[in-house]
Amino acid sequence: MCARTKARQYVCTHDVLVHVCLHGYVYSSTQVQIQPITRTILRVTLNIKAQFEWSDRVSGTVEPFWIWVEDNENERIYHTEYFLVHKKQLRETHVLAFTVPPPPLPSSYP
């Protein structure tokens, strides 16, 4: 086998490894709906769908996520929740609903 062929095999093996690693990366897509209930309470509804290929070696039977709602300046956390995606529920859309106080209004707001 010539050096060029060995190099090609290495590159192909490396590309496959990168492909496998990227498709095993755990992530999700999220849609958010925010609805005011009163002047001091907002209802937040999250639709979460896992967007990865399940690997028992990486995730086992469950994959945990932390969900948190914070303000733009990262000064305050309004809500945190520990969320689990089970292997059997991978392709389902999960719905989480919770309430949070609205962020403070600027002082220039009437």
CATH number, domain containing residue 39: 2.60.40.150
Residue 60 lies inside a defined structural domain of this protein: yes
Say if 1 falls within a structural domain. no
The reply to whether 22 falls in a domain is no
Residue 17: the pLDDT is: 56
**What domain count does the chain have?**
1
Mean pLDDT in order along the chain per 10 residues (110 residues): 42 54 68 92 91 77 86 83 86 91 75
pTM over 0.75: no
- Can you give the residue range of the structural domain that contains 64? 27-100
Within a domain: residue 14? Answer: no
For residue 54, being part of any structural domain is answered with yes
- What are the start-end ranges of the E strands in the chain? 28-38, 41-50, 62-70, 77-86, 93-100
Residue 105: inside a domain, yes or no? no
Q: Is residue 82 part of a domain?
A: yes
CA distance 54 to 48: 16
Return the pLDDT at 2: 42
Region of 5 (left: φ > 0; alpha: ψ -120 to 50; beta: rest) is alpha
